[in-house]
Chain A
Amino acid sequence: MYLNIIKFGEALFESRNLFAEAAWLTLKLTAVSIFIAIFIGLFFALIKISKIKVLEWIANFYIFIVRGTPLIVQIFVFYYGLTEIAMISGFWSATLGLAFHNGAYIAEIFRGSIQSIGKGQTEAGRSLGMNRSQTMKRIILPQAFRRALPPLGNQFIIGLKDSSLAAFIGLTEIFGAATTMGANTFDYMTWLLVSAVYYLILVFLLTLVVSFIEKKMAASD
């Protein structure tokens, strides 16, 4: 099997409707799961640094489970597990699976960046009469979030690419569309490369968005 540039270009062009729809699904999977994962991550980061032993254990256990098992297993557990107890679509199984997974990594990113903010910042806030949560919300978290952005951007990219695993529970996102087309045409190579083009574009756009936010937040430098 050799690669014919013209044939590849035609495939790319003619499949644009299918893949536009698939890319839209990939984007939705990524955006919604990352959005949820940020809240999960923040929640577990805060309880991990809460100095309350029970909460710390819960956070550590969650991170232990997520890091210790493959994402594909987690997605299938959500898919078969959740569809048994609730009427839940494949989209939400995949989204929640991805959020559950990314949340653990984001928790560790937030924890690290919160702990990297010097103790003096907390002391300054408290010495002015601000309470613990005001100090966290207004002084520590804005600075921590800024420091978290580069690794967070990285995690977003990983999340976007990992959303391809949703194909295995029947979602026609980019990778799903490619394997379907591959099976139909007996030409997997062309369609996998087409999917690669879409992933490259999406990752590139995501990188732009993250660096735009980074620049905006660098105003105080």
Chain B
Amino acid sequence: MSDVREMIRVEKLNKSFGALHVLKDIDFTVKESEVVVLIGASGSGKSTLLRCLNFLELKNDGKVIIEGKETDPKKDNLNEVRQKVGMVFQHFNLFPHKTVLENVIEAPTQVKKIKKAQAVKEAKELLAKVGLGDKADVYPSRLSGGQKQRVAIARALAMKPDIMLFDEPTSALDPELVGEVLATMKELAKEGMTMIVVTHEMGFAREVADKVVYMHDGRIVEVGEPNQLFDNPQEKRTQEFLSSIL
């Protein structure tokens, strides 16, 4: 197993918003094709950690190493790093003035300068894959939350990222729409995508995750395989958190 490629390595990461110290000495690695689920109470820093991985938030201290290369926001071109790291947001953030298809081809045509015909072909394949092949010419306002989130996943995949970040992808959805988004994510995991998921869906974590990370108050408290962490948590705080939500 040791020859599996390391996709993300975080060392001694610290992040503050003003006086608020949100991430404290985070050490964290993700290997290729691994699905890592971050859990913890709100305010524990999981979303901030995720957003540090594609530099929507910039660290104050420590190292963020993506695919073996340490990224320095001051020197490196973040736009290039971000092309390798796709992100799906809690509130979808689709572009409302563009159709579903236009949402998906926007970055490939504008950033990667792929020919439009080629981008459209790939986008249609991706939309079919997330079950929305018939919605290409519709505007996002006509879609349900679950459909929007699946378009957002297709949009991120269109850049052919090596890593996908999911920031509470089902938290804004009606309960009956959660399943379709999780199903899309499971399929992606099965294909070997490296995924880091912030979620409250413990069922998903148990079923799909290779590794579950419990965060509390800006620190990683416990890391383990799902069975071990859910059934036999070692830390008292993990036990308390799990008993409060299960």
Residues on A lying within 8 angstroms of B by beta carbon are 118, 120-121, 123-131, 134, 138-139, 142-143, 146, 219-221
Please list the 9 inter-chain residue pairs (A to B) with the smallest Cβ-Cβ separation, ordered nearest first: A124-B93, A128-B107, A129-B83, A120-B93, A127-B87, A220-B139, A129-B111, A129-B82, A129-B79
B134-170 with Cβ < 8 A to chain A: 139-141, 155-156, 159
Q: How far is the CA of A139 from the CA of B107 in the complex (A)?
A: 11
A123: chain B residues at CB < 8 Å are 56, 89, 93
**B95 and A139 contact, CB distance less than 8 A:** yes
Which residue of the partner chain, among A120, A129, A142, A146, contacts B107 with CB atoms under 8 Å? A129
A74 to B223, CA, bound (A): 68
Query: Hey, which chain B residues are within 8 Å of A131, CB to CB?
Result: 79
Q: Is the CB of B155 within 8 A of A128?
A: yes
Chain A residues contacting B3 (CB-CB under 8 Å) are none
Interface bits B64-100 vs A (CB < 8 Å: 1, else 0): 0000000000000001101101110101011111110
Q: How far is the CA of A146 from the CA of B141 in the complex (A)?
A: 16
Contacts of A142 in B (CB 8 A): 97
Q: How far is the CA of A123 from the CA of B55 in the complex (A)?
A: 10
Q: Assuming the A-B contacts A134-B110, A138-B106, A220-B141, are A127 and B95 also in contact, with contact meaning beta carbons closer than 8 angstroms in the complex?
A: no
Task: Give the distance in Å from the alpha carbon of A129 to the alpha carbon of B107 in the complex.
Answer: 7
CB distance A146 to B159 under 8 Å?
no
Q: How far is the CB of B164 from chain A (nearest CB, A)?
A: 11
Q: Return the chain A residue nearest B55 by Cβ.
A: A126
Closest Cβ–Cβ distance, residue B61 to chain A (whole Å): 22
Given contacts A128-B107, A134-B110, A134-B111, whether A220 and B93 have CB atoms under 8 Å apart is no
B98: chain A residues at CB < 8 Å are 220
Contact of B97 among A124, A126, A146 (CB under 8 A): A146
Q: Determine how close the nearest CB of chain B comes to the CB of A135; give it in whole angstroms.
A: 10
The SS class assigned to the A binding surface is helix
Is there an interface contact between A127 and B54, defined as CB atoms closer than 8 Å? yes
Check A127/B82 contact, CB under 8 A, given A120-B91, A219-B139.
yes
Look across to chain A and name the residue whose beta carbon is closest to the beta carbon of B77.
A131
Complex: A123 Cα to B110 Cα, angstroms:
16
CB contact under 8 A between A143 and B56, given known A129-B82, A130-B110, A220-B139: no
Q: Which residues of A contact B56 (CB under 8 A)?
A: 123, 126-127
A209 to chain B, nearest CB (A): 21
Give 1 or 0 for each of B19-54: 1 = CB within 8 Å of chain A CB.
Answer: 000000000000000000000000000000000001
Q: How far is the CA of A219 from the CA of B155 in the complex (A)?
A: 21
From B86, B107, B141, B159, A221 is in contact (CB under 8 Å) with: B141
Residues on A with C-beta less than 8 A from B85 are 127
Q: What CA separation (Å) do A138 and B107 show in the bound complex?
A: 10
Instruction: Count chain B CB atoms within 10 A of each CB in A118, A129, A131, A146 and give the residue with the most.
Output: A129
Could you tell me if A124 and B82 are in contact, using CB atoms closer than 8 angstroms? Answer: no
Write the nearest CB–CB distance from A91 to chain B, whole angstroms. Answer: 37
Closest to B158 in A: A128
A142 to B98 CA separation, bound complex (whole angstroms): 10
- Which of A121, A146, A221 interacts with B93 by CB under 8 Å? A121
Complex CA distance for A131 and B95, rounded to whole angstroms: 16
Whether B97 contacts A129 by the Cβ 8 Å rule is no
Instruction: Judge whether A124 and B110 touch: CB under 8 Å.
Output: no
Nearest CB of A to B92, in Å: 8
Which residues from chain B contact A129 at a C-beta distance below 8 Å?
A: 79-80, 82-83, 107, 111-112, 159
Chain B residues within an 8 Å CB radius of A221: 139, 141
Minimum CB distance partner of B78 in chain A: A126
Bound CA–CA A128/B87 (angstroms): 8
For B111, the chain A residues whose CB sits under 8 A away are: 128-130, 134
B107 cross-chain contacts in A, Cβ below 8 A: 128-130
Q: Are A128 and B156 in contact (CB under 8 A)?
A: yes
Q: Closest CB-CB distance, B76 to chain A, in whole Å?
A: 13
**Shortest distance between the CB of B183 and any CB in chain A (Å):** 23
In the complex, chain B residues whose CB is within 8 Å of the CB of A118: 93
Given contacts A138-B106, A138-B110, contact A130 B79 (CB under 8 A): yes
- Which residues of chain B from 213 to 239 have any CB-CB distance to chain A below 8 Å in the complex? none
8 Å CB contact of A127 from B86, B106, B139: B86
